[in-house]
Amino acid sequence: MKKSKFQVNEKGYYGEFGGAWIPEMMYTNIDELKRRYLEIIEADDFKAEFNQLMKDYVGRPSPLYFAKRLSEHYGSKIFLKREDLNHTGSHKLNNTVGQILLAQKLGKTRIIAETGAGQHGVATATVCALKGLKCVVYMGALDVKRQAPNVKKMKMLGAEVVPVHSGNKTLKDATNEAMRDWISNPVDTHYIIGSVVGPHPYPDMVARFQSIISAEIKSQLLEQTGSEFPTRVLACVGGGSNAAGAFSHFLDDEQVELIGVEAAGKGVDTPETAATLTVGSPGILHAAKTILMQNEDGQITEPYSISAGLDYPGIGPLHAHLHKTGRAKYLATTDEEVLKAALLLTQLEGIIPALESAHALAALAKIKMKPDDVNVINLSGSGNKDMETYLEYFGYLELSTE
Ligand SMILES: *Cc1c(COP(=O)(O)O)cnc(C)c1O
């Protein structure tokens, strides 16, 4: 990844956001990572193994698909970056493959992770099976119930799933438990964080692994359109890793418009939302300074979205910075708009998107596009995991885009 002025600085900050606001007991773990991650992931042997696995195991490059009927519908050119076609059905494996290789180079034998919806837990359990490393996944007890199919997958892959009974029994509580585990096991354990969140160097490290997305978009666009620069790139934002990956190689190409799309849930003016940049304010979340959803006492408020993967009360510090500087724009789309956009893509292109990805699709209806604009949507994942939600909403027989 070439050096960008939007990249993290030596102190671990993106402008005023980021850093490593860790308890002293976690210093050893973070310090080791911080000192060694760049040297390890930029070495030729690391890159060779990472690229080999991206190709033969993940199935990269993922296609950049010109969506003809969707383009006709909107009267502008729309390309889909098909991260949904990766092994395990999303962009998440790009990061877990990178981190498992890093963990091995650091001599770690045990992996821990936190998961909310279970997608990151499955991606972590997958690479642990691939490399024969012990895997422990912390998951809120409520989420264990709500996401039973992913829990079964993790167990089949050989991971131990630990239900967390504290707090609201969701993602935040699972993260606290994982951090506690890491503090107690600093020598043999690596903690795989699933997005561009957490203390430095995680946001930068995860963004680097995901940046393969925009590297491919550039060369694929050049081949298909004669220019590597689209008019704009759109991606959904939970913590912000698929968006970071889709934006990375365009950050300094300021003619390319970057649009992140958060989950408005039932609406940004209701308590049931996950649109952090619209309703949030600066604070510390998961050991980083960023924008987060909090009440007047600084307590984290519970986010809501129809999509479990965007149901996060914060946003990665890179995005807080891109928002603040105006380099990227952030919109929010409601559950209702998202379901419509998912059905539209399904019926115009024969692709059922993940609910998360459908947030980016729904934003197409909210922006001004010219006929010759080239719009790239990062289709972060497949809708296989969301069929129950889709069917519940649309009914089994009366599917209609009206
Ligand atoms: C987890 C997930 C997301 C949200 O995570 P980011 O770090 O914001 O990318 C988006 N889409 C899919 C398909 C996911 O599984």
Cβ–Cβ < 8 Å for 375, 258: no
User: What value does the mean pLDDT take over residues 300-326?
Assistant: 94
Q: At what angle do helices 92-105 and 44-53 cross, to 10 degrees?
A: 140
pLDDT digits (tens, 9 = 90+) for 237-268: 999 999 999 999 999 999 999 999 999 999 99
* Confidence bin at 170 (pLDDT 50/70/90): confident
| Ligand 1 contact via 96 beta carbon (within 6 Å) | no
For ligand 1, what atom is nearest to the CA of residue 92?
A: 15
What CATH number was assigned to the domain covering residues 23-55+92-206?
3.40.50.1100
Place of tokens 């310090």: 31
Query: What is the predicted pLDDT for the residue at 400?
Result: 56
Kindly state the helix (H) or strand (E) to which residue 18 belongs, with its residue range.
Answer: strand 17-18
pLDDT digits (tens, 9 = 90+) for 333-353: 999 999 999 999 999 999 999
Name the average pLDDT for the chain.
95
Alpha helices (H) along 289-363? 317-325, 335-349, 355-363
Ligand 1 pocket test, candidate residues 86, 92, 286, 377, most atoms within 8 A of CB: 92
Secondary structure of the chain: what % helix, strand, coil (to 5)?
45, 20, 35
Classified as helix, coil or strand, 69 is helix
| Ligand 1 contact via 126 beta carbon (within 6 Å) | no
Nearest Cα residue to 372 out of 253, 276, 230: 230
27-36, 162-171, 366-375: lowest mean pLDDT where? Answer: 162-171
241/316 Cα distance (integer angstroms): 8
Sign of CA dihedral 123, 360, 199, 254: positive
174 CA to centre of ligand 1 in angstroms: 17
Classified as helix, coil or strand, 352 is coil
| Ligand 1 contact via 195 beta carbon (within 6 Å) | yes
* Confidence bin at 395 (pLDDT 50/70/90): confident
pLDDT digits (tens, 9 = 90+) for 23-76: 999 999 999 999 999 999 999 999 999 999 999 999 999 999 999 999 999 999
Cβ–Cβ < 8 Å for 109, 133: yes
380 CA to centre of ligand 1 in angstroms: 6
Cβ–Cβ < 8 Å for 312, 274: yes
Q: Which strands form 13-14's sheet, in the order they lie side by side?
A: 13-14, 17-18, 288-292, 281-285
Nearest Cα residue to 232 out of 315, 319, 320, 327: 327
| Ligand 1 contact via 115 beta carbon (within 6 Å) | no
Residues involved in catalysis: 92, 114, 380
What CATH number was assigned to the domain covering residues 59-89+211-399?
3.40.50.1100
Nearest Cα residue to 362 out of 328, 333, 335, 402: 333
Query: What is the predicted pLDDT for the residue at 369?
Result: 98
Cβ–Cβ < 8 Å for 374, 77: yes
68/226 Cα distance (integer angstroms): 18
On the question of pLDDT at 146 being above 90, the answer is: no
| Ligand 1 contact via 85 beta carbon (within 6 Å) | no
Cβ–Cβ < 8 Å for 268, 230: no
Task: List the chain domain ranges.
Answer: 23-55+92-206, 59-89+211-399
Three-class HEC string of 198-215: CCCCHHHHHHHHHCHHHH
pLDDT digits (tens, 9 = 90+) for 119-130: 999 999 999 999
Query: What is the predicted pLDDT for the residue at 171?
Result: 87
Residue nearest (by alpha carbon) to ligand 1 atom 7:
241
Query: What is the predicted pLDDT for the residue at 167?
Result: 87
On the question of pLDDT at 394 being above 70, the answer is: yes
Query: What is the predicted pLDDT for the residue at 399?
Result: 57
Query: What is the predicted pLDDT for the residue at 398?
Result: 62
* Confidence bin at 195 (pLDDT 50/70/90): very high
> 0.75 cut: is pTM over it?
yes
Classified as helix, coil or strand, 294 is strand
User: What value does the mean pLDDT take over residues 203-207?
Assistant: 98
Query: What is the predicted pLDDT for the residue at 61?
Result: 98
